[in-house]
Chain A
Amino acid sequence: MTVTPSQTRTPPRPAAAAARGGRRQYWTTRRRDVLSGWLFVLPQTLGFLAFVLYPLAAVVYYSFHTSNLLSGVTTYSGTKNYTQLAHDPAVPSVVRATALFCVGLVVFNIALALVLALLLNQKLRGTTVFRTLFFSPVVISLVAWTITWNFLLQNNGGINSLLRVIGVHGPNWLRGHDSALISVVIVQVFKNVGLNMVLFLAALQGVPRSLLEAADIDGAGPWRRFRSVILPLISPTTLLTTIVTISGSLQVFAQIQILTEGGPNNSTNVLVYFFYQQAFGNHDFGYGSAVAVVLFLIILVLTSIQWRLRKRWVFYES
């Protein structure tokens, strides 16, 4: 047998030597991979545990207790908070306001965003300017946006002054039982419609021209093309925007706080604001937590329903 120079020069690897000696190395490749995997997910997991799971568990815990924030005394009260919620005379108004706000926002927002996207998808002059204009509220601070609208919507504010110029006596927007909710919805729609518009625009530009041309050749008019080709093809985006808008509408708070404080007579008191009012305004943390748990369950159920329904109406979802 001939010994090559390379075999003589290469020293044996320590791991191999250990293995040959019968002692297996603890830090095997598999163990190292497992450890590094854990180390990589650790920061995110710790963050999730500390800032999501722990508060969530605490809210559920507090919802079965009565807390006096001033004295710091917390006592177990069973399902008292949930019973109170079921019998609270304010709850029907709160549910009504939440449902109307959610439906109003989703319908107006998605419809307007889609219409704007369809218009701005045309190859016309000035579309870039309009795209920027409609998107700009998205990047404006929510509070600054709402405070400005608060001035405009006052009885002697900008909008009614403008209406007076054309001889119209505008309503007291933020104090009327119905006009207050409509005002809050409109303020929120204008704030966020730009984001959905951009998403729809991207989806519209992803619709293959060949399909539209094929529909054209088959004799489909604009409406038929929209209904049978475009709408099904952009359905994943419609699903995404609907889910985001619904869950966003159920979490609206700053606009209500600044514009109406839930009034008049609870007509704009949505569930999140009601929760804030109970927990932080009335210092009833246990009851507030029960409201938060119910809100969490509602969002969970709605989102999972949408997720399940997606197979029926979303294109290329298996």
Chain B
Amino acid sequence: MSTTRRRVRLASAAVTVVTLLVAALAACSSGSGSSAKNISLRMTVWSNDKSQNALFNSIAASYRQSHPEISSITFDYIPIDNYTTALTTQIAGSNPPDLAWILERDAPDFVSSGALTDLTPTLKGTSGYGYDDLAASATKLWEQNGKLFAYPFSTSPFGMFFNKDLLAKAGVSQTPEQLLAAHQWTWPNAIKIAAQVAAKTAKQGLVIRDWNYKTWIQLASVWRAWGAQAWSADEAWGAQAWSADGKTCQFDSPQMQQAMSFLHSAIFTDKALPGPGETADFFAGESALTVTQISRASLLAKHPFNWGIVPLPSGPAGSSQVIGQAGIGVMTKGQHKQQAADFLAYFTNSANSAKLAQYFPPARKSQLTTTTLAKANPLFTAQQLQSVVIDGITTGSVLPSHQNSAKLSTLVQNALDPLWTPNANVDSVLKGVCQAIDPVLKQ
């Protein structure tokens, strides 16, 4: 080989190596932390609602005016389906957000793992914050040893929305509002209405939103009316679910058996709910009734049909309201814990909490009044706010939560799958659920 060719070969190889080294160094340096004067905060959220995002950004913008050291605050959207998985992966990959929304079902895992920072000193130390205004019932799920690890920014009761136009089209004689007034707003009556609409129109009857035969936790809105629980003390409203109480599976209890039999026959005999593999969206006018959280009401702003909302129907155990909660926590592994906690104190102060109340029912006792809520929720009547929101928050219980919630969720989902066939044996399926989750509950 000639000298020139050898030199060219050597030179090109050297250039390759140098380029790689430069690229590697550049990648390392771009990831290094920001200076104390140029702080970027990131909060992961599962809402992609434009109006909600506009509100978050306006609160963030006004905070940055008084805090020039914060160069940007971003709200990072992650779809709710994979929210916790994506968040956990970010934490494990050393790329945690500074602040994160956390679902109530994951609260025990997050609170007990040390992934979240204690917010009590910052919130109590912020002048005018009014820490004592936070309802103890709302903060309970997010506390450990008297310390608050996430702020319960949304305490949103489940209600039953109904499409008045579809009900009229199907010839339903008594609306849910009338049944409620007559103290006859029961699950059998709700299913009767749903079945009637499904039979007489091309639309579906009742949709339990976000369940889709997978996210079984949403079914608590049904079985609680039978007094059933997923496991002992499955709601953290009255007791900590990850205490010794949460160790017994309750899926095979007579109450759960009755509740699930009722649901099974509503689906496969009455055809009141869309079957497995069928989809319908209430907010697109495709079903007569839907069970969902009132924070979804913002979806109704653009839909041209008459609607109403009532509390969840009552069952053999009476009226039993269910609440979904979401907290905002500051990540222990985040780079700017104090700045993130300070921003959280601003984001959830009394004035901003009142603004957020139009989407997320607040945890502040002083704001749980029809007057305050009516200002923020023009879509609801005073009576709807009282019966669904205020009464719901006061009397309701939070969706089931437990340590190892992700594992439990998968196990229950798999074990419940055989139930969603027309000839299922409800009793044996529910016994199978307990067999599947007992070892995890006892861990």
Residues of A within 8 A of B (CB): 29, 32-33, 35-36, 39-40, 42-43, 46, 67-72, 89-90, 153-157, 172-175, 261-266, 277, 280-285
Contact = CB atoms under 8 A, between A and B. Distances in A.
Contacts, number: 98
Contacts of B418: 264-265
Contacts of A262: 414
Interface stretch (B8-16, B54-62, B179-187, B224-232): B8-16
Interface class of chain A by DSSP:
loop
Interface string B96-127: 00000000000001100111000000000000
A129 to B, nearest CB: 35
Contacts of B276: 155, 172, 175
Interface residues of B, number: 39
Contacts of B371: none
13 contacts: A36-B10, A36-B13, A43-B20, A46-B20, A70-B109, A70-B115, A155-B278, A172-B277, A174-B277, A175-B421, A262-B414, A265-B415, A277-B410
A281 B85 contact: yes
B406 A155 contact: no
B136 interface: no
Nearest to B14: A39
B128 to A, nearest CB: 33
B255 to A, nearest CB: 24
Interface of B: 1, 6, 9-10, 13-14, 16-17, 20, 85, 88-89, 91-92, 109-110, 113-115, 213-214, 275-279, 333, 404, 406-407, 410, 413-415, 417-418, 420-421, 436
B6 A32 contact: yes
Contacts of A261: 214
A181 to B, nearest CB: 14
Given A40-B13, A264-B418, 6 more contacts: A39-B14, A40-B16, A71-B114, A156-B277, A263-B413, A283-B109
Contacts of B404: 282
A17 to B, nearest CB: 16
A283 B109 CA distance: 10
A277 to B, nearest CB: 6
A157 B17 CA distance: 55
A263 B88 contact: no
Contacts of A67: 92
Contacts of B17: 39, 42-43
